[in-house]
Chain A
Amino acid sequence: MAERAAAIDLEAAAASRRHFWSRFAIYGLLTVFAAVYLIPLFVVVFNSFREQAEIARDGLISLPRTFRLEAWAQAWSTYCIAGTCQGMQRNFLNSLWMTIPATIISTLLGAVNGYVLSKWRFKGSEVLFTLMLLGVFMPGQIALMPWAFVLGKLGLTNSTYGLILVHVVQGISFTTLFCRNYYVGIPDDLIKAARIDGAGFWRIFWKIIMPLSPPILIVTVIWQFTGIWNEYLFGVVFTSGQAQPITAALVALTASGTTARSYDVMSAAVLIGALPPLLIYLFGGKYFVRGLTQGAIK
């Protein structure tokens, strides 16, 4: 009896030891990977507050000894990019004035299109939907020359309005896809009942569809905002200098390292460019991930 109990104890102890080591391995691995993911972020954040002299002395990857905000001020308003010394502020605002309208317009169009393609289908609407979807897969390169021509004709070269147009047209297929797939899940009976009560197209849209839409609208807005903010190709091709969005300006800034590279200012500039999407990610992470997985699997 006692022997058997001892054997069970031994076995339990072995099992718990195994459990401890497997937990240790799991957390150990996760910690190593987390370090690899976080170190680049820490490096930039630290360097944006360190003195350039200190960076030159202690190296780029090092804990900070000093703390100052001057690099941020310089990156924002006085640092020189390709001969103009106004920092990143113009480019940051360009990105903002490009991203906000383009996000709102493409999301609204996507919502209305998705509503038509799910609740007001007509002959051929499925085919049209499939054709619109092709826009999701098109590489931007194939549209560069045509866009350059169209923007030139419209007088929108080197302008934020031109980029808004490009991003809205390119974004419609994504936003329509997101909204249509979400609205398909709203029961048709709801719409039928409203129609029998005499509600028309727009009334149903505003009174029934819109109140049910916040989850998908948040996903779509986050997807569009981060996508357009982070876009580089169209920005660098269709605008130059002071009219460039922040991604293009960042490349110009880090390329124009004439003498010693000022890592302090460049780090602050990089963070200014990364902050809006990062903040959205931190506060709307759930919706961000939902957009990613939906966009991917559908």
Chain B
Amino acid sequence: MLKIFELIGRYFILMGKVFSRPEKAAIYRRRIVYEMEALGIDSIGLTAIISVFIGAVITLQMCINLDSPFIPQSLIGYATRETMILEFSSTVVALILSGKVGSSIASEIGTMRITEQIDALEIMGVNSASYLILPKIVAAVFFFPLLTILSIGIGILGGWAIAYLTGIMIPDDYVSGLLLDFKPYSIVYSLIKTAVFAYIITSVSAFYGYYAKGNSLEVGAASTRAVVVSSVVIMIFNLILTQILLI
């Protein structure tokens, strides 16, 4: 138990360093753009592929399980939309990105730690925590919500495509379901969750990388720990945010 408190304490001390005044804003701007490409743009492909298939599978399963003359088919479009917006495109995509982006951040920073690159920055008088971690957090917090919007769009499109291609339901019913009882706040809720998850993924992964010790085995272990812990923290915050924002 004491160890968990020590860990949380170290995390907040690191975040204190991360959010201290940056050395030179221009350098940070350049790094944020670089990180947006590395963490965000490079994740578009994975997000798009997973979203289109999940959207299609949700529609298929709804068609199979809601096969009743008493249930209008438009509800399938409605359910697909709600599932994509409320949970899949924010929470599940965040869990997937914690695997891709989180492990990449932890191993990148961990390798920099064990090869003394972080020491080299410190010697130059650079706040290494802020220089390395802050651009990643800012880039992810601003870019991941765009991935969520993309995922919602592509997932819904995937559902429509499977309806159209297999003829399992009438595509027009699917579209009318999409327009049924739409609450724009659901999108806001989803984007807020994604921004929080983006912060969790980047900061927790960076934390484990920054304090990596020893050799490449330790970097691998730090990377695994980063993914596991950020996934668990995402699930906890999913519950907390749903309670706060929806109920």
The finding on whether chains A and B are genuine partners in a shared complex, rather than unrelated, reads: no
Q: Which residues from chain B sit less than 8 Å from chain A, CB to CB?
A: none
